[in-house]
Chains A and B, each alone.
Chain A
Amino acid sequence: MLALHPQVSVRPEPFGALLYHFGTRRLSFLKDRRLLDVVRRLDGATSVDEALSDVPAGERAAFRSALATLEKTGMLQ
């Protein structure tokens, strides 16, 4: 199950959030508050689908690809 990497810290910002990985020193930007909500819900959800349940069906693909990018860069694991 996908979750935030334990070394990643999340800072909410007016535009969404900043993610910082203390291990890789990488900074990522979540440009949408709702993506931040999804990332937060991953923790405690049993599946990515569950975390995405509030997202309109038509937008889920975009959210999935954002999550995939975060996984690829090590922010999620």
Chain B
Amino acid sequence: MKLVEHFATGLDAPICLTWELTYACNLACLHCLSSSGRRDPRELSTEECKTVIDELQRMQVFYVNIGGGEPTVRSDFWELVDYATAHQVGVKFSTNGVRIDAAAARRLAASDYVDVQISLDGATAEVNDAVRGAGSFDMALAALQHLADAGFRDAKISVVCTRQNIGQLDLFKELADRYGATLRLTRLRPSGRGADVWDEMHPTMAQQRELYDWLVAHGEGVLTGDSFFHLSAFGSALPGLNLCGAGRVVCLIDPVGDVYACPFAIHDAFLAGNVRTAGFQEVWQRSELFAELREPQSGGACSSCQHYDACQGGCMAAKFFTGLPLDGPDPECVQGYGELALASVTSAPKPTGDHSHRGGVRGGPVPVSIGRHPESRPVSACEENPLAGLTV
């Protein structure tokens, strides 16, 4: 049996566990996968978080990807980071940089078990700030500068690839090199607020090809978190596991302790349980949903495709939130089958829970509701689109 086949049937503990510590965020990015903004009053307390960490230590979850929201705005953020690393749980956290000042950077540089990812969605302020809000580009760069000054080695710059920034791949690489950082590219999924902007922001077919070629040429020095395995259908498989790990090697603990199959699948259909009531281990090892996801999956309409081995029909979350059947092609199927299938979709499930700031944040990207379906959009959609006029 190949290793990935073992993975497909599940592991005793996840490899890639994301833990979102809070829904609170100082920004209001258009494509936020968790519709973050306001704190949820039911978020796990410091003590509850420590109990989760104790459990992760017992299960030998080697590291946890901490995100949010903006995790650093929790007042106990550093306490939890220290607690995790003291209990053999390494930390990789994602931040927009808001709290990474000189002191925080020195503290991070002094720790051996913490990795930092700074999110950036444009290699220029113009492109980045249109998505992440005014001033967010400078804030991220200031954080990177603090980290470099403090001698923090190998920070990551995490980019969600979009129609607006794919033309900037070389610029991103230069930017990362300038700070001694590693570039990490991930896929835009129609999750959270990402569902509202997916039509306008997901890469075109030509851009997907451009991205694939760029990844093949630069693969070695760039991380992708296994995001782009659906692009393998363009040619040879990209490095990585090339499988949808949801509930099998991947899962999410959200700020209120709900466990979802994947950070991009915050919806009741993918809710496996809650750490408060059952404990994480119980949910991971015994939830019905995860058992189902670990069953052999049917390729459905994809099974006759010659690329199925590498592409596996793509991303479950992307299919789900665009209203496509889970056993069929990805909406961004490089063979074009996804686009065809999308043409007959009339409605798609809405993400569970919206923690967006009411009325947006000062300097935030202009919150305009852009319907997902052409027929529900105003005729002059382009003028209302916050991304209109953006040329890259």
Contacts and interface: CB of A to CB of B under 8 A. Distances in A.
B199 to A, nearest CB: 36
B5 to A, nearest CB: 9
A27 B6 contact: no
A3 interface: no
B12 interface: yes
Q: Which DSSP category, helix, strand, loop or mixed, fits chain A's interface? A: strand
Interface string B64-89: 00000000000000000000000010
B115 A25 contact: yes
Contacts of A29: 3
Interface in B5-22: 6, 9, 11-13, 15
B6 A11 contact: no
A22 B57 CA distance: 14
B112 A11 contact: no
Given A25-B90, A27-B62, A14 B112 contact: no
B12 A23 contact: no
Interface string B1-41: 10100100101110100000000000000000000000000
Nearest to A19: B62
A63 interface: no
A22 B3 contact: no
Interface residues of A, number: 14
B337 interface: no
Given A14-B6, A15-B3, A22 B15 contact: no
Interface of B: 1, 3, 6, 9, 11-13, 15, 60, 62-63, 88, 90, 112-113, 115
The 6 closest A-B pairs by CB, nearest first: A15-B6, A20-B62, A11-B60, A13-B11, A13-B12, A29-B3
Interface of A: 9, 11-15, 18, 20, 22-23, 25, 27, 29, 31
21 contacts: A9-B60, A9-B62, A11-B12, A11-B13, A11-B60, A11-B62, A12-B12, A13-B12, A14-B6, A14-B9, A15-B3, A18-B11, A18-B15, A20-B63, A22-B90, A22-B113, A23-B112, A25-B63, A29-B3, A31-B3, A31-B6
